[in-house]
Structure 1
Amino acid sequence: MNNGSNRTIHPSCMDKPPVAMDIILKLDIFGIILYSVLTFMAAVSMLVFLEECIYIYRKVPANKKSIIIWVNGAAPVIGTMSCLGMWIPRATMFTDMTSACYFAVVVFKFLILMLEEVGGDEAFLKRAGRHKLKISTGPCCCCCCCLPYVAITRRSLFLLKLGSFQFAVLKIVFTILSIVLYTNGTFDLADLSITGAAIWINPFVGILTIIALWPVAIMFMHLRTALRTLKIIPKYAMYQLVLILSQLQTAIINILALNGTIACSPPFSASAKGYMMSQQLLILEMFIITLVTRLLYRRQYDPLPVEDGNDNEHTKMAAIPVSA
């Protein structure tokens, strides 16, 4: 095939992603080493996670066990799904959707984790009764400094939970819908036409993601001082890093592939090559994050000290000054 500039396009550049056996048969020495090392990293990540689950089951109070296991599992689950997508390129859409659904639940679980670290809903409301929430924070309203502070009540706490919980539910619903449409031939990530299902579903899911991240950011800004001794800041940083790498980085690479910036590399088309690069990077990144997360969550889970009237620097919440 000729593209008009005397350059012949390899047939595989216009084809679907190769099957697993085609990849295995065409691996050279470098490819064998690369695939082996990345598979080993994904396996180690999952083994570290399983070992951490055993530790959490034995050492952590019952009200925090499942929450911490969910949050700890973000990086190893995404790394394992990326490994499957690396070996079976035609399953990449499904492995990515599985990772995204898992992380949607983690967004909600991280919010609940911060509440449980201060003793649960009742303890949070008791400790935070004389404080207010600053809602002018990212990712929705970081530039809206004129927004009023919100009193901490059961209703406002319920709305914060609902804001994150809706993403955990609706992301799964839209994933199932996408798979159903894919089997019908009407959902294609590469189809950016106005009649394509992906151009409507993906932006809407993106809006839901931003709405879900906002309550988590609000709660973190309020509790970061009270939970500083529990390393909540690096934990939040790891949570944000998983989000950026699994969502933003993957989206950027896929856009570059669709625009032709990433060249075709037989047996991979340009888009398949972009997905492959994304999976390989995620395996390495999630392996590192898994090891760091293990260090952050392996600690003694003692009750948080009671906040006193003097706002001790180790127990106070982020107090908002109230103007006269």
Structure 2
Amino acid sequence: MESTEEVNADPRIPPQLIHLLMANYSVPKSCFSKPPRTVQLLYNLDTLQLCIFGILTFLTLLSVVIFIEDAFYLTKKVRCPSKRNTFLWNSAAPTVIAIFSCFGLWIPRSAMFVDIGISTYFAVCFYLMLMVLIEGFGGKDALVKKLESNLVPINTGPCCCCCPCLPRIKLTK
């Protein structure tokens, strides 16, 4: 059997559990090691896998080209600056996901940065979309005035949908 130092890259997992999983459940040793570096990944890929990586990278570049064409169209056709910026940010979402995913494909240890980057981008898109909705009502004061007689549920998803006991609130200034 192999030494524990070679296999156990994560000190939170006891060596006995690792050996049990490898012996009884055929879990490969590579599942307990750190993700490879980019250079190690490139040396370990065969021709088919390199072709797949190339195709996925090409699709990412195609997504960028489509977004650039979309951006030119939106800058020519949409006159309102806030709507144009929001449309540009929202239409870039698939391209941003493709670019971050391509980074995650070629740099195996970047999964955390890929997730944070995509989440941050969606947060900005969501904020801009809310600003367009507020401006569609005529501003914050007009939105509150329009909805002040309505009770607004706060037990909506994704976090509070399991709390039906939360009260409905009235919008006030």
When the two structures are superposed, what TM-score results if normalisation uses the length of structure 2? 0.68
What is residue 70 of structure 2 aligned with on the other side? 52
Cα distance in 1 between the residues matched to 2:123 and 2:86: 13
What is the identity percentage for the equivalent residue pairs of Structure 1 and Structure 2?
36
Q: Equivalent of 2:171, from 122, 145, 152?
A: 152
The equivalent residue for 2:81 is 62
Q: Within 1, Cα distance between the matches of 2:95 and 2:31?
A: 32
Residue aligning to 2:13: none
Matches within 5 A, 1:247-266: none
Q: Secondary structure at the match of 1:137?
A: coil
Task: Please name the residue that 2:103 is paired with.
Answer: 84
User: Alpha-carbon deviation of 1:87?
Assistant: 0.5
Larger radius of gyration: 2
For 1:259-305, what per-residue CA distance to the aligned partner results, in whole angstroms no more than 9, with x for missing partners?
xxxxxxxxxxxxxxxxxxxxxxxxxxxxxxxxxxxxxxxxxxxxxxx
SS in 1 for 2:161: coil
Pairwise CA RMSD? 3.1
4+ long deviations beyond 6 Å? none
Secondary structure, aligned partner of 1:17: coil
Shift of 1:38: 1.5
Aligned residues: 153
In the alignment, structure 1 segments of 5+ residues that lack a partner are 156-324
Per the normalisation by structure 1, the TM-score is: 0.40
One-letter identity of the residue aligned with 2:91: N
Aligned counterparts, 1:51-200, within 5 A: 51-60=69-78, 61-153=80-172, 155=173
Q: Equivalent of 2:37, from 19, 38, 46?
A: 19
Q: Give the SS at the match of 1:16.
A: coil
Residues 106 and 93 from structure 1, CA distance in 2 versus in 1: closer, same or farther, beyond 3 angstroms? same
- Gap change, CA 1:18 and 1:149, over 3 Å in 2: closer
Check conservation: 1:63, 1:116, Cα contact below 8 A. Answer: no
Describe the shift of the 1:124–1:48 C-alpha distance in structure 2 as closer, same or farther (beyond 3 A): farther
Q: Aligned pair in 2 of structure 1 residues 118, 40: CA closer, same or farther (>3 Å)?
A: farther
Which structure is higher in RCO with an 8 Å CA cutoff and minimum separation 6? 1
Contact 1:70-1:106 at 8 Å conserved across structures: yes
Unmatched runs of 5 consecutive residues or more in structure 2 = 4-18
Cα gap change, 1:148/1:98 in structure 2, threshold over 3 Å: closer, same or farther? closer
User: Cα offset for 1:98?
Assistant: 1.9
Structure 1: distance between partners of 2:34 and 2:146: 57
